Amino acid sequence: MAASSGSGGQWETQCLNCGTALQGHYCYRCGQRAGPHERSIKALCGDFFEMLTHADSKFWRTIRRLALSPAALTRDYVEGRRMSEIPPVRMFFVVIIMMFAVQSFIPSRQVVTAIKVDDRAQTAGQVEGWQLAGHPRITAWVHRHVSAAVRNPQEVVAVMREWSERFVLLLLPLSSGMLWLLFLWPGHRTLYEHVIFTVHSLTFTFAVFTVAVALSQALGDMAWWLLWWPPFHLYRHMRGFYGSSRLGTLVRMAVLLGMSLLAVGILLSALSLLSLQLGTQEAG
Ligand SMILES: [Zn+2]
């Protein structure tokens, strides 16, 4: 191994990333830290272990601030104090990936196969007997797809899972838009700032949900009590970041809840129709 390439644990004289001559511990051109760059599995494991265990690492500090003082975290970010926290969008995607990973460990097949096969045939027969008001083509669609779904639910559940992951991402623009509407007055925050607020808020909510799902496997229904945390968190986050009054915050939260329920209702309906359509295609 050539010593000049900076391998092993030696300090290099040129930035390994862009080749600029180094002055000090960071490249002034691209910002990469100067060596020594360890190239071993042991060093990789060490980095990972340090991130998880070192209580004052950027990772845990950001998580702690997000949980306990979210308004200060969001304010610091939009006002440009960014070095000491994980970028919001990166954290958001890490939490989303963890959320889906945790859910994928909980088998949907268990739920689906719990329904007895002869019961399914019977239910499918009942569905075909449904009398629906409306256009006969709609009735035919419902009959065909719902009874196919009852006979073979695995496929529908799989499609539903896949699309729910895509739909979750829609929550970001939807919620940002709602906040923008709700804070048109006093209007001192920009759309960009609402988006950052939303990213932080959704990250927290998804993280709590993920922890609750994971804990519910061990503790049972008790774990769902955790879901009381996000509303209180949102209240403090909004009050702190937007500087709204107690009443102003509560009224906005109520309107936000109403709009969110409406949006989630529309999304869930779309998701059900889509899953029925795509999950029972070969049956149609
Ligand atoms: Zn460089």
How many angstroms does the Cα of residue 10 sit away from the middle of ligand 1?
17
190 to 112, 114, 127, 174: CA distances (angstroms)? 46, 50, 50, 16
What is the 39 CA–ligand 1 centroid distance (Å)?
19
Output the CA 153–ligand 1 centroid distance in Å.
Answer: 55
Task: Name the 3-class secondary structure at 14.
Answer: strand
Task: Compute, in angstroms, the gap from residue 93 CA to the centroid of ligand 1.
Answer: 27
Contact 267, 168 (CB under 8 A): no
**How far away, in angstroms, is 80 Cα from ligand 1 center?**
23
Q: CA gyration radius for the chain?
A: 25
Chain centroid offset of residue 270 CA: 20
27 C-alpha to center of ligand 1: Å?
Answer: 5
CA of 23 to the centre of ligand 1 (A): 11
Distance CA 82, CA 78 (A): 8
Q: How far is the CA of 34 from the centre of ligand 1 (A)?
A: 9
Write phi, then psi, for 14 (nearest 5 degrees): -120, 150
**3-state DSSP call for residue 21?**
strand
Going by C-alpha positions, the residue among 158, 169, 173 that lies closest to residue 274 is 158
What are the sequence ranges of the domains in the chain?
88-283
Residue type at position 204: F
pLDDT of residue 5: 43
Q: How far is the CA of 170 from the centre of ligand 1 (A)?
A: 37
d(CA 94, ligand 1 centre) in Å: 27
DSSP lists the bridge partners of residue 266 as none
Query: In the chain, count of helices (H) and strands (E)?
Result: 11, 0
Nearest Cα neighbor of 226 from 237, 236, 245, 212 is 212
Helix (H, G, I), strand (E, B) or coil at 33: strand
Q: Any idea what DSSP says for residue 11?
A: P
Task: Identify the CA nearest to 180 among candidates 252, 247, 236, 233.
Answer: 252
pLDDT in tens, the chain (284 residues): 334 444 445 667 888 889 899 888 889 998 888 877 777 888 888 878 877 777 667 888 899 999 999 999 999 999 999 888 889 999 999 899 999 888 887 765 555 555 556 676 677 777 766 766 677 888 888 888 888 888 777 788 888 888 888 888 898 999 999 999 999 988 889 999 999 999 999 999 999 999 999 998 888 889 999 999 999 999 999 999 999 999 999 999 999 999 989 998 998 899 888 888 888 775 44
**Residue-level pLDDT at 284:** 42
The alpha carbon of 26 and the centre of ligand 1 are apart by a number of angstroms equal to 8
Centroid of ligand 1 to alpha carbon of 15 (angstroms) = 5
Name the residue with tokens 């329920």: 261
